[in-house]
Structure 1
Amino acid sequence: MVRLLDRGRRSLLRGIFSRTTVIILLLVLQLYVIAATYIWFVNYRLHIQIFGGIIASISVLYLFNSRMDSTAKLTWMLFVIPFPILGGLFLLYTKIDWGYNGMKRQIKDNITKTIPYLHQNSNVLTELKTSHSTAYNLANYLSFGDNHFPVYKNSQATYFPSGEEKFAELKKQLRQAKQYIFLEYFIIDEGIMWGEILSILEQKVAEGVEVRVMYDGMIEMTTLSFDYSKRLKKLGIEAKAFAPLSPFLSTYYNYRDHRKIVVIDGEVAFTGGINLADEYINEIERFGHWKDTGIMIKGQAVDTFTILFLQMWGAIEDTTEVKKYLGNHEEKLTTDGFILPYADSPLDDDKVGENVYIDILNQARDYVHIMSPYLILDSEMAHALQFAAERGVDVKLIMPGIPDKVVPYYLAKTYYKPLIESGVQIFEYTPGFVHAKVFVADDTKATVGTINLDYRSLYHHFECAAYLYHSSEIAKIERDFQRTLDQCQQVTKQSLKELSLSAKAVGTIVKTIAPLL
């Protein structure tokens, strides 16, 4: 009994004096100082009213002339007009990216350095232009400005309809690594999945293979300890947390690394929705059965994923010796289509992920079938979905039947009615949670990656995906969609009416701040 009490006391003390507790307390203190300053200003009402009017006018002028989505502009108006000083200063605070500018400069510098290593084969581009004009136009866009994402032919894709299948192949490929292994994930959680992978990585380090692991710094508050990168380094694994939490208020908390990338020897790459945690392979049950997807790329298209990893690694540590990590690609792979890996970044005003989705919808003739865990749409994305359906395109959307987050789930339902009225068919996966991010259209094109249909993915996160055109794997993706559809229940206007009053109220209220979620 005494031992149990002593152990409990030690656990309590560790919790009180942990880094997490200190960070939370310091953040609360800063919020208190901001609130107290605002209250102090309120005592000088006349001066404040004049100052507030000036701030509100400047903020409104800025919003009207910015490239921000119209829905986001309206959301900011709801803050700025009733609370001109607090809302205006908060807008200024978010736009100057205080605490994040150094990282932005570093990443942009890394992108500039690495772009020359992404070579576009002119013959591939010519073939695309001659035979497939619409796909060529998209490829042209993805090589415009700072994007520089080549389209490849000497490459192969393999689609995985579940986390379990991807996990089995990932272990197989990791065991075959000879030179290096790069892993970049939003979430890593200790358990069966990560335990087996970590065991393989330790073995590979012993064989002389270079291993790098990068994970988003936000998970240090949830699944990993603050010293986890040091623990991995003791095993010989280079490890970094992207944008780790600190005790200072900063806009960089808003920009998370949501990518899931594995690169092995520059010859094999993986991406998709699957993180390194046991729910993704249904070893534990969270929100029912977990439906997710992934894709493996072999050949020249792997170069893009290699560069993407090095660009993000360079946000923490200078990227050097890029060339030695690119694959030789001497083996000519049998390919039956085009592969175009691409990424999205919050560092610019170009919504690459959303533009690819909209292009698929706008170019579709027969069908567009979609799987997404969340639905928080801006006006452009909502219009593209509705316009495609109104043109007679079969637009089907599979959403979770059991949500992982209740508020976004109710918020998503506020978009259902206008979509259904335009002819979009919406289904919910009754066995559990859908975490897949898939678009497939007309048996000719598909994209599989990390990009959700919500503001966070489309505006604030670092994301990635692989676009397939005339690949045999597209038929496999569509078959998986149809199998998943068989386990779904269609959402109707009547079922929306039957939602509880509280669910409707939460969705309606939260929709006013949807771009900030």
Structure 2
Amino acid sequence: MENHSASDSEPDSHKKKKFNRIRVFYRLYRKRLIAGFVVLAHVAGALTSVEAVMETRTPPGAVAWAISLNLFPYGAVPAYWIFGHTEFESYQAASLLNEAEFEPIRQDLTSSLAKQGLRDIPDTPLEKMLESLTPLSFTYGNKVDLLVDGRETFDAMYAAIDSAQKYILLQSYIIRDDATGRRFSEKLIAKAKAGVMVKVLYDEIGSLGLGSEFTGRLLASGVDVKAFSTNQSDGRKFQLNFRNHRKIMVVDGKIGFSGGLNIGDEYLGKHDELSPWRDTHMSVSGPTAMLLQLPFAEDWYWVTEEVLDGLDWELKPPAEDADATVLCLPTGPADIRETCGLFFLAAINSAKERLWIATPYFVPDEQILSALKLAVLRGVDVRIIVPGMNDSTLVKFSSYAYLDEVKKAGVRAYRFGNGFLHQKTMLIDDDFSCVGSANMDNRSFRLNFEIVLAVKSEDFGNDMEKMFEKDFADSTEFNEKDLDEKSFPFRLSSRVSRLLAPIQ
């Protein structure tokens, strides 16, 4: 019996030794695996940082990526391959291909504008600079209306849709399947069933939650709806850096709309946290409405490889009250120059008496900061209004650092207190105004497709002035102690967020 017990215990001893050997081997293997992963991650980070240094457009952006890729490669490497690229090669190639289609239209329009006396010949340094940034021209004979907030904007757009006889072009960064989105879709569907050509373009990232049921109803009713995807031809399945942020609607080539509003309930103040929603759009009738069709048509070509037929390119005599001069300025990452950033820089440098800016994302680069400081030194009344509440934590912290800096330079900075401010507007002196989709940040300057309408009109400038004055009254002026009196973690977060500004 004793021998039998000994023989039984021997296998248990072997099992225990075997288990210990496996455990030691597993620990050693796990350590080697972790070490290998760490080495591989840092090698990948180092190699990727070389590309970032060579490819990133700005030195601060290159430095920010290089540091993060080498110090924190585990998250920075995948982030770079998703968000880091700033050159949109495939759209540039597509632009070259469709140039043969659209350049004759531009030339014919330019010639017709000149013949009918509707082309404004630039006579100031600002106008010459801005017109050199775009193949489009300043045009006379436009009727413009400032549209403040969602109700006024959507009612004007609904009326324009109802008046459509030939076609409707609608482009939005965000379209939601909510009450507002469904009302738009119902109106578009009704027009499509009546024989009107309806084209709808939305950004696939901005409208990520838009389901096939919503688009299916449009398609089944004859509305041609497409998603703008920025990775469809670059071979980068996870390239999410470029967004089509433009907001455009054109009806029959006669009336156009652009500005800061997307299509969703929040723009009517129906948001759980960011209400009321403060935004600005504008409508334009005349030659510029026709020119707004060009960026839409080019984006449509990128998505479909189809040239839009049936658009009206024949200029009409302007209405008697159409006295505004307007420039349509589309910008994007496929531009040869950094058009959006240069536009803001030129506009700021042109200000002589007044420069009022409203932007939800105030994350400027160094050249914009310098231009704002120089404007103050010239004696210009420089004011900037930003949201008091934010939809981006990173922007909230970084904007505090920027506001603190410009405030110390003499800029009057305001934090809007009556809801969420989302408008992107600018008033220069008395007669030059800008309404568009572009924010004052790196993403709009270099990564997004944007659209800005620049208006020369004292009447429109007066409307902008009244709008700004009301917004200032609904705001609290930022003072030099606002950041200093915050807690240390807040101030640290602000400074760190600013370091990340070039790659935001």
Contact 1:71 1:379 in 2 (8 A): no
- Answer yes or no: is the 8 Å Cα contact 2:56–2:62 preserved in 1: no
Contact kept, 8 Å, 2:363 with 2:398, in 1: the verdict is yes
Specify every segment of 5 or more residues in structure 2 that has no aligned partner in the other structure, as ranges.
1-31
Alignment pair present for 1:330 and 2:316 = yes
Instruction: State the SS of the aligned residue for 1:427.
Output: strand
CA 1:447–1:52: 2 relative to 1, 3 Å: closer
Amino acid at match of 1:330: K
User: Structure 1 residues 37, 158: closer, same or farther in 2, change over 3 A?
Assistant: farther
Range 106-115 or range 148-157, more displaced: 106-115
Counterpart code for 1:138: M
Give the letter aligned to residue 105 of structure 1: A
Aligned to 1:128: 121
What is the identity, as a one-letter code, of the residue corresponding to 2:344? Y
Determine the structure 2 residue equivalent to 1:22: none
Change (3 A) 1:489 1:90: closer
- Superposed CA offset, 1:270-318 (max 9, x none): 0000110111122445413211000101111112211111111111112
In structure 1, list runs of 5 or more residues that go unmatched: 1-35
Q: Could you say which residue in structure 2 is the equivalent of 1:232?
A: 218
Structure 2 SS opposite 1:303: helix
Q: For the Cα contact (< 8 Å) 1:97–1:252, is it kept in 2?
A: no
Change in 2 beyond 3 A, CA 1:168/1:325: same
For 1:158, what is the secondary structure of its paired residue? strand
8 Å Cα contact 1:215/1:242 also seen in 2: yes
Any conservation in 2 of the 1:125–1:136 contact (CA below 8 Å)?
A: no
Q: 1:78 and 1:300, CA in 2 relative to 1: closer, same or farther beyond 3 A?
A: same
How many percent of aligned residue pairs carry the same amino acid? 22
For residue 70 of structure 1, what is the aligned residue in structure 2? Answer: 59
AA in 2 matched with 1:332:
P
1:110, 1:311 within 8 Å by CA — same for their partners in 2? yes
SS of the residue corresponding to residue 262 of structure 1 reads: strand
When residues 344 and 203 of structure 1 are mapped into structure 2, their CA distance, relative to the original with a 3 A threshold, is same
2:101 maps to a residue whose letter is K
> Which secondary structure state, in structure 1, belongs to the residue aligned with residue 140 of structure 2?
coil
Please name the residue that 1:137 is paired with. 128
Any conservation in 2 of the 1:218–1:245 contact (CA below 8 Å)? no
Q: TM-score, normalised on structure 2?
A: 0.83
- The structure 1 residue matched to 2:164, chosen from 168, 177, 188, is 177
Deviation at 1:59, TM superposition (A): 5.2
Where in structure 2 are the equivalents of 1:468-507 lying within 5 Å? 468-507=455-494
Q: What secondary structure is seen at the aligned counterpart in 2 of 1:365?
A: coil
What root-mean-square deviation, in Å, do the aligned CA atoms of Structure 1 and Structure 2 show? 3.2
Q: 1:135 to 1:43 in 2, by over 3 A?
A: closer
Partner deviation per Cα, 1:20-74 (whole Å, 9 max, x = no partner): xxxxxxxxxxxxxxxx9996475699xx98x988x489558x54xx682232132
Secondary structure of the 1:415 match is helix
SS in 2 for 1:328: coil
Q: How does 1:39-50 map to 2 (within 5 A)?
A: 40=36
CA distance in 1, matches of 2:45, 2:149: 53
Q: Distance in 2 between matches of 1:96 and 1:476?
A: 40
Give the SS at the match of 1:301.
helix
- Which protein is bigger by CA-based radius of gyration? 2
Partner of 2:6: none
Residue of structure 2 equivalent to 1:210: 197
Seen in structure 2, the aligned counterparts of structure 1 residues 122 and 133 have a Cα distance that, compared at 3 Å, is: farther
Given that 1:338 and 1:469 are in contact with CA atoms closer than 8 Å, whether structure 2 keeps it comes out as: yes
Q: Does 1:305 align with 2:292?
A: yes
- Over 3 Å counting, the alpha-carbon distance change for 1:476 and 1:37 in structure 2 is farther
Pair 90,482 (structure 1): closer, same or farther in 2 beyond 3 Å: closer
Residue 402 of structure 2 is matched in structure 1 by 415
Contact 1:218 1:244 in 2 (8 A): no
Equivalent residues of 1:267, 1:327 under 8 A apart: no
Partner of 2:353: 366
The one of 360, 373, 384 aligned to 1:386? 373
Matched, 1:276 2:231: no
Cα 1:449–1:38 shift into 2, 3 Å: farther
Q: Which runs of structure 2 are paired with 1:1-150 in the superposition (5 Å)?
A: 40=36, 55=47, 62-63=53-54, 68-80=57-69, 82=71, 101-111=89-99, 113-118=101-106, 119-120=109-110, 121-122=113-114, 128-129=121-122, 132-142=123-133, 147-150=134-137
Match of 2:432 in 1: 445
Aligned equivalent of 2:228: 242
Count of residues in correspondence between the two structures: 465
Deviations 1:235-291 (A, max 9, x none): 221111111789x96463111111110010111110000110111122445413211
Counterpart of 1:294 in structure 2 is 281
Offset, 1:141: 1.6
What amino acid is aligned across from residue 483 of structure 1 in structure 2?
Answer: K
> Residues 148-198 of structure 1, C-alpha deviation per residue, up to 9 Å, x if partnerless?
121111222111122211111111111000001111001111223222222
